[in-house]
Chain A
Amino acid sequence: MCTGCHTIPGYQASFPKVYHVPKIGGQSAKYIESALTAYKKGERNHPTMKVIAAGLSDKQIADIAAYYAARGSEPAVAANK
């Protein structure tokens, strides 16, 4: 679900503005969770992310967050503190 955009180096979002899709591997789990929850509630507005997050349960969001938090290219310094 996430790999098509977030795991391609240099991949760019084309709508509504052109910019690089953020790196999420190694991001803090809590932040990924809060971002997905904000999309789900409509507090964040990216069209693609809103649709994706709307279909996720809280459990799925937590699982995705834990998975990507563990993907970091360095030892997870503060990933789960």
Chain B
Amino acid sequence: MNKITVTTVALLAAAAGWSTTAAAADIEAGRKIGETQCAACHGKDGKTPIDPSYPKIAGQYPDYMVKVLGDYQTGARKNPIMGGIAKPLSKADLENVAAFFSSLPGPLTHKK
């Protein structure tokens, strides 16, 4: 993908307010968690998972990701890998890491 596309997608994301939902979240703190704990499977950019059964998370809604991670913490949603990763994280960690991946450009869309 070329640079113009990346910029365009980022600008569109900003214009649509996708990344402003979690205004209080600390994206840089989220980046540290993302790059050390999420990138190995979901890709550093959040859109190149190592296995097609793993979701792309770049550009996903942050509140949805916080909800999913919370469900892994409580066991409402079960996955051996995600359960182990989510459980030690604080609520602030969840919000920060969700804000980080939500801020990244990606292919996810509402298009029909």
| B109 touches which of A23, A43, A81 (Cβ 8 Å) | A23
| B111 touches which of A7, A22, A31, A45 (Cβ 8 Å) | A7
User: How far, in Å, is B110 (CB) from chain A's closest CB?
Assistant: 5
Enumerate chain B residues within 8 angstroms of A3, measured Cβ to Cβ.
112
Query: A19, B49: Cβ atoms under 8 Å?
Result: no
Q: How many A-B residue pairs have CB under 8 A?
A: 102
Query: A77, B48: Cβ atoms under 8 Å?
Result: yes
- How many interface residues does A have (CB within 8 Å)? 34
Give chain B interface residues in 26-61, CB to chain A under 8 Å: 43, 47-49, 51-56, 59-61
Query: A19, B67: Cβ atoms under 8 Å?
Result: yes
Query: A28, B56: Cβ atoms under 8 Å?
Result: yes
User: How far, in Å, is A2 (CB) from chain B's closest CB?
Assistant: 9
Confirm or deny: B77 has a beta carbon within 8 angstroms of a beta carbon on chain A.
yes
With known contacts A22-B60, A45-B77, A73-B9, A31–B107 Cβ distance under 8 A: no
Give chain A interface residues in 13-31, CB to chain B under 8 Å: 17, 19-31
Query: B1, A75: Cβ atoms under 8 Å?
Result: yes
Enumerate chain A residues within 8 angstroms of B92, measured Cβ to Cβ.
none
